[in-house]
Amino acid sequence: MDKSSPALSRRRSRRLHPMPIRVMHWINAAAMLVMITSGWGIYDDDVIVRGLHFPQALRLGDWAAPSLNWHFAGMWLLVLNGLAYLSYGLVTGRLRERLLPIRIADLVKTVRDTLHLRIAHEDLTTYNAVQKVLYVVVILAGASQVLTGLAMWKPVQFSGLVSLLGGFQDARVVHFLGMSVIVGFLLVHVLLSLLVPQTLWAMLAGGPRVGPSGHGEPAPLP
Amino acid sequence: MRSPFRPAAPPDPAILDDHRRLIRSLQRRRLIQGGLSLGALTMLTGCDVRRPASVQAALLAIRDLNDSLQALLFDPNKLAPTYPASMVLNPPRFNAYYDVMKVKPVDGAKWRLELSGLIGDKRPWTVEQIEALPQRTEIIKHVCVEGWDYIGQWSGVPFRAFLERVGADLSARYVGFHCADGYTSSIDMASALHPQTLLATRYGDDVLGDPFGYPLRLRMSTKLGYKNPKWVTAIEVNNVRPDDMWDKPGYSWFAGL
């Protein structure tokens, strides 16, 4: 009699999004919203794009000081949660499993299929090439926000970082571009999750069970 | 670090005397009754979810923690980048909590710099006396909390040399500034002693212009623009943190770069 098999199969047939991933995802969602909207409050005193102002209703904080305080409180949540997410993803191999490999041929095929309105999303457990690229880009944008943010916060103590970025104002522009990338991602991400609500539900409840490879294989029967 | 529960200055004992009767009349039962109705009131005022007092208090507490971290990150020997004279913006950019047209020029002949607190020699200083002290020039960046910056050329007395000259207690925690326009600012002693911190009297090749702080202003490379008070009329060295105009509305007090 094989005593270990039920436990083993349960361990093998983990959920698409394990509990730590779901918790960190929603903490990140809150932190990102705080950082974006408080950042819009700070931005307005010295705009980067002439004529671009963010309406008061979209800003966190009545004026610059409370917006700054929100921003410098939210940064802890964003950085600590982001470090936990990246460590978890590297240690468990999830990042590699979900996001790699990205093949140019797959990318071309996905874009072509999408333009022909053939968007297959029955299998939640395998990301298509465009999805993978978007997730990698937004993770890199998040890391860039932290570095450019540090450069702007401490341009004297971290003057090496500032000169690496080209200067104080360049750091501001890169920080602004990083925000734009993240907001662009967010619009697509939220729109698609509403179009395919199973994905939203999966990020709340865990999603379908996946096999040892992390993708949609049938779990071995007990 | 100062406990967040301790007031910056102890209350005047006279206040306690004034309210002795009221304090005696406090009874535990009435306190609980009052507390309950106060609690109910906070629920009523809690309608605005974006601005409850508890959230504001938490934000300010985190700001103060971040200020402590900023003090730890501050390296007293790290110099800010300096620039060639060709990059200097002249005249510099004006900024204050009021418009440049409202600037009230200070009469240099009547002006005196008053000293108070933990300072050995508190005799006031005239413009000529300050200009006779050894001078230093710094071409450094001015970074405003709003996001803009410019490069300026400032000359004056290194603040450390001035504090040593007047016999200030360099182990005290704070230095406070009072200005002719009512502005107040205070900084930590470590930043005050930084080699690029100047009591500036000149900009470029000229005496400071009226909008930029004539006859005397603080200019430091290691803090944001609002920590560089203009038209300074009094300097105070203290272990209790002196007034700071931008601290109460919510800006960072340390404001280090």
pLDDT digits 0-9 by tens, A21-61: 999 999 999 999 999 999 999 999 999 999 999 999 999 99
- Give the domain ranges of chain B: 13-71, 77-238
State mean pLDDT over B127-143: 96
> Please, which pLDDT band fits residue A219 given cuts at 50, 70 and 90?
very low
Check pLDDT > 90 for residue A215. Answer: no
Please name which of B119, B151, B125 lies closest in space to residue B138, comparing C-alpha atoms: B151
Over residues B158-184, the pLDDT tens digits come to 999 999 999 999 999 999 999 999 999
Give pLDDT, residue B20. 65
pLDDT of A4 above 70: no
Sort residue B147 into left (φ over 0), alpha (ψ -120 to 50) or beta.
left
Please determine, for residue A198, whether its predicted confidence score (pLDDT) is greater than 70: yes
Per-residue confidence (pLDDT) for residue B153, from 0 to 100 = 98
Is some CB atom of chain A closer than 8 A to the CB atom of B148?
yes
pLDDT tens-digit readout, B62-72: 999 999 999 99
- Among B51, B63, B248, the strongest candidate for a mutation testing the A interface, having the largest count of A CBs within 10 A, is B63
Contact B151, B140 (CB under 8 A): yes
Which member of B78, B141, B146 has the closest CB to residue A157? B78
Give the span between the Cα atoms of A136 and A141, in whole angstroms.
9
Please list every residue in chain A whose beta carbon sits closer than 8 Å to the beta carbon of residue B145: 45, 64, 68
Interface contact flag, A46 B146, Cβ < 8 Å: yes
Residue A214, pLDDT score:
74
Residue B78 has pLDDT above 80, yes or no: yes
Which residues are CB-neighbours of B75 under 8 A, at least 6 positions away?
A: A157
DSSP result, B185-243: EEEEHHHHTSTT-EEEEEETTEEPPGGGTTT-EEE-TTB-GGGS-SSEEEEEEESSPPP
B56-65: long-range pairs with CB below 8 Å, 24+:
B56/A66, B58/A73, B59/A66, B59/A69, B59/A70, B59/A73, B59/B250, B60/A69, B60/B250, B61/B4, B62/A69, B62/A72, B62/A73, B62/A76, B63/A69, B63/A72, B63/A73, B63/B250, B63/B252, B64/B4, B64/B253
B251 neighbourhood in chain A, CB within 8 Å: 64-65, 68
Residues of B in Cβ contact (< 8 Å) with A66: 56, 59, 250
Cα gap A72→A66, rounded to integer Å? 10
Mean of the per-residue pLDDT values for chain B?
A: 88
Q: Is some CB atom of chain A closer than 8 A to the CB atom of B143?
A: yes
pLDDT given for residue B105 in this prediction: 94
Tell me, what's the pLDDT at B3? 59
* Chain B residues within 8 A of A159 when measuring between CB atoms: 78, 80-81
CB contact under 8 A, A168 and B251: no
Provide the mean pLDDT of chain A: 88
CATH code of A13-205, in short, is 1.20.950.20
User: Domain extents for chain A?
Assistant: 13-205
CA triple A20-A21-A27, angle to 5 deg: 90
In CATH terms, the fold of domain B77-238 is Sulfite Oxidase; Chain A, domain 2 (3.90.420)
E strands of B114-148, at which residues?
114-117, 136-143
SS3 breakdown of chain B: % helix, strand, coil, rounded to 5?
A: 30, 20, 45
pLDDT at residue A101, rounded to an integer: 86
Residue that has been written with the tokens 């860039």 in this structure? A144
> How confident is the model at residue A77, as a pLDDT?
97
- B63 touching A, CB under 8 A? yes
Q: How confident is the model at residue A221 (pLDDT cuts 50, 70, 90)?
A: very low
Per-residue pLDDT at B225 exceeds 60: yes
pLDDT of residue B46: 44
Tell me if A155 and B146 make a contact (CB, 8 A cut-off): no
Q: Answer whether residue B47 shows pLDDT above 70.
A: no
* Chain-chain contact of B146 with A64 (C-beta, under 8 angstroms): yes
Element (H, E) at A26: helix A19-43
Q: Count of alpha carbons within 13 Å of A168, Cβ hemisphere only?
A: 23
How do residues A170-185 score in pLDDT, each as one tens digit?
Answer: 999 999 999 999 999 9
- Write down the pLDDT at residue A108: 84
For residue A99, the model assigns a pLDDT of: 85
* Spacing of C-alpha B124 from chain mean position: 21
Tell whether B186 lies on the interface with A, counting CB pairs under 8 A: no
Separation CA B117–CA B179 (nearest Å): 16
pLDDT of res. B18: 66
Residues 6+ apart with CB under 8 A from A217: A210, A211
Tens-digit pLDDT profile for residues A109-152: 888 887 777 766 667 777 888 888 999 999 999 999 999 999 99
Quick one: pLDDT band at residue B116, thresholds 50, 70, 90?
very high
The token pair that represents B238 in the structure block: 């203290």
Candidates B50, B59, B222; nearest CB to A73: B59
Q: Which residue has the higher pLDDT, A35 or A196?
A: A35
Position B207 pLDDT exceeds 80: yes
